[in-house]
């Protein structure tokens, strides 16, 4: 097996033992990037390869910083990286070069990571399809005519194509989970507050989005989570990190899993998706879990109304300058402008009502978790779609009334900040990947990762590499 096929954990062990040098790992991954990235466009704004090799050679002889020592990591282009072009997928910031690292970038560097570029993202992360006017579209390694999803689509595609061993992502409305499903990798949305944000802008009310890890193994997910998690004293609502990688040996026998499916038909899914999820549930049952189908525990339309209200409210206030400045507005994608305009039209009563609904769903979910150790839902409602589309217009004949309604299945988790691991569950009739979410109560990150680790050992879907066109 070549170095690019090894997990981050395996590469880390080889470097620690001296069997492999960071420069060898970097050389292998840079060769892979040169051969494959032009076809998929997953990594953008990459530094000169000679500079990266020089950093890796320096790491050969330097004291070991941490488990990421000498490993290549590309950072999602929504996070600032010191001295590296960071565009947020927006023409407004096409030439922006930050002077400082984002907090989790600094934490990865402190653990020894070498930053090899940025992973592509939709403009401002809006939309679960990775394309923008700065870098163009990213393509799915399993079918170059299809999207890898988004907004962490560049990260998911880079992992699937073996351009990096591990990656960061972020998730507001499925931005980790959708691309993980579309690209046959793992993506973990942690409990809200576990991975802290930087102390910029509002840090009290903006509680819908979070950073999180992506990888081809759950062990790598656990290790990267341990690196980027942990309180930031400069922002509120923090949570301490745990030794997640040391707690992956759970016994699933007797665990109770609730299957929410398509939420009683509210979250329509394209043909074949629920069947693959059922097969994934069968794996959990083979491992000893008890699976029980559940009726919808809350009105889907109430969740959607709460979600779109709070999301619009946050976008209107965080990105209002893009709308107020005519020059910037002309450079901003229509989906982002729509989000801002939705938020500007809201009343304080509407925002409060949305928060009341959110609170009621949190209480109802807590009652569910008193009966179940985990819940399972599909990670996406559609198969990876043509890369030329902006977004799917319909599911099974039902028209989508917004640019993101086709990803409504992620809202129950996002609205109340639950931990959710997107796991691959195989390939459909057309050979495209799909995944499902394993969801836990707030704070149960270690439990959900442990369930996922057992599932990975039984399946290892990411071991099925993309087609021969990518080597």
- For 295-347, write each residue's pLDDT tens digit: 999 999 999 999 999 999 999 999 999 999 999 999 999 999 999 999 999 99
Single out the catalytic residue among 151, 152, 170, 191.
151
Q: Identify whether 151 is a catalytic site residue.
A: yes
Number of domains in the chain: 1
The pLDDT score that the predictor gives to residue 377 is 98
Single out the catalytic residue among 45, 175, 191, 414.
175
User: Does residue 471 surpass a pLDDT of 90?
Assistant: no
Q: Identify whether 2 is a catalytic site residue.
A: no
Closest CA to 355 of 208, 199, 172, 173: 208
The pLDDT score that the predictor gives to residue 351 is 98
- Model confidence over 81-108: pLDDT tens digits? 999 999 999 999 999 999 999 999 999 9
Average pLDDT, stretch 12-19? Answer: 98
Tokens 């069997």: give the residue: 19
**Which residues constitute the domain of residue 317?**
3-470
Q: What is the DSSP letter of 244?
A: G
The pLDDT score that the predictor gives to residue 222 is 98
Alpha carbon distances (Å) from 14 to 25, 27, 62, 112: 10, 15, 15, 14
Quick one: which H or E segment has residue 321? helix 320-324
The pLDDT score that the predictor gives to residue 266 is 98
Strand partners, 376: 259, 438
Average pLDDT, stretch 20-37? Answer: 98
The pLDDT score that the predictor gives to residue 470 is 73
User: Does residue 1 surpass a pLDDT of 90?
Assistant: no
Single out the catalytic residue among 12, 23, 76, 118.
76
User: Does residue 227 surpass a pLDDT of 80?
Assistant: yes
The pLDDT score that the predictor gives to residue 339 is 97
The pLDDT score that the predictor gives to residue 445 is 98
Q: Identify whether 17 is a catalytic site residue.
A: no
Sheet holding 290-293: strands in order across? 166-171, 210-215, 186-189, 420-427, 433-439, 374-378, 256-259, 290-293
| Integer Cα distance of 49 and 54 in angstroms | 9
Average pLDDT, stretch 351-359? Answer: 98
Contacts of 407 (CB under 8 A, 6+ apart): 128, 173, 174, 178, 380, 381
Inter-residue contact 286 to 399 (CB < 8 Å):
no
SS3 194: coil
Give the domain CATH number at 445: 3.90.1300.10
HSE, CB side, 13 Å, CA atoms: give it for residue 134.
Answer: 27
Look over the chain and give the mean of its residue pLDDT values, rounded to a whole number. 97
């Amino acid at each position: 097996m070549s170095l690019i096929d090894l997990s981050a954990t395996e590469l880390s062990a080889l470097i620690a033992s001296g069997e492999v040098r960071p420069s060898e790992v970097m050389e292998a991954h840079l060769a892979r990037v040169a051969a494959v990235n032009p076809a998929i466009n997953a990594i953008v704004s990459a530094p000169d390869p000679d500079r990266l090799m020089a950093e890796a050679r320096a790491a050969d002889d330097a004291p070991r910083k941490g488990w990421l020592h000498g490993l290549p990591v590309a950072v999602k282009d929504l996070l600032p990286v010191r001295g590296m072009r960071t565009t947020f997928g927006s023409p407004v910031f096409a030439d922006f070069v930050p002077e400082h690292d984002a907090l989790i970038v600094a934490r990865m560097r402190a653990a020894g990571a070498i930053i090899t570029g940025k992973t592509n993202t939709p403009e401002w992360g809006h939309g679960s399809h990775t394309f923008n006017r700065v870098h163009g579209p990213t393509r799915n390694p399993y079918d170059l005519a299809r999207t890898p999803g988004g907004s962490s689509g560049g990260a998911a595609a880079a992992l699937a194509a073996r351009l990096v061993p591990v990656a960061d992502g972020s998730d507001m409305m499925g931005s980790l989970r959708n691309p993980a499903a579309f690209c046959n990798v793992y993506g973990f949305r942690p409990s809200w507050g576990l991975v802290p944000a930087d102390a910029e802008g509002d840090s009290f009310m903006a509680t819908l989005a979070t950073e999180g890890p992506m990888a081809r193994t759950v062990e790598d997910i656990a290790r990267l989570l341990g690196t980027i998690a942990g309180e930031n004293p400069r922002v509120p609502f923090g949570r301490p990190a745990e030794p997640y990688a040391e707690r992956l040996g759970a016994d699933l026998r007797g665990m109770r899993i609730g299957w929410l499916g398509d939420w009683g038909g509210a979250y329509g899914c394209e043909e074949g998706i629920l069947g693959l999820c059922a097969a994934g549930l069968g794996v959990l049952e083979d491992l000893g879990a008890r699976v029980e189908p559940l009726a919808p525990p809350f009105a889907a339309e109430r969740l959607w109304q709460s979600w779109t209200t709070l999301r619009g409210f946050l976008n209107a206030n965080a990105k209002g300058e893009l709308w107020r400045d005519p020059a910037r507005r002309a450079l901003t994608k229509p989906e982002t402008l729509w989000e801002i305009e939705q938020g500007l039209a809201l009343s304080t009563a509407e925002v409060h009502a949305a928060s009341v609904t959110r609170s009621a769903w949190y209480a109802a979910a807590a009652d569910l978790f008193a009966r179940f150790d985990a819940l399972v839902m599909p990670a996406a409602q559609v198969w990876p779609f043509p890369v030329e589309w902006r977004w799917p217009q319909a599911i099974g004949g039902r028209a989508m009334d917004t640019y993101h309604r086709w990803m409504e299945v992620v809202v129950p988790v996002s609205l109340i900040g639950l931990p959710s691991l997107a796991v691959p569950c195989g390939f459909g009739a057309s050979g495209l990947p799909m995944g499902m979410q394993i969801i836990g109560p707030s704070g149960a990150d270690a439990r959900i990762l442990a369930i996922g680790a057992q599932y990975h050992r039984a399946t290892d879907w990411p071991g099925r590499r993309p087609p021969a066109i990518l080597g």
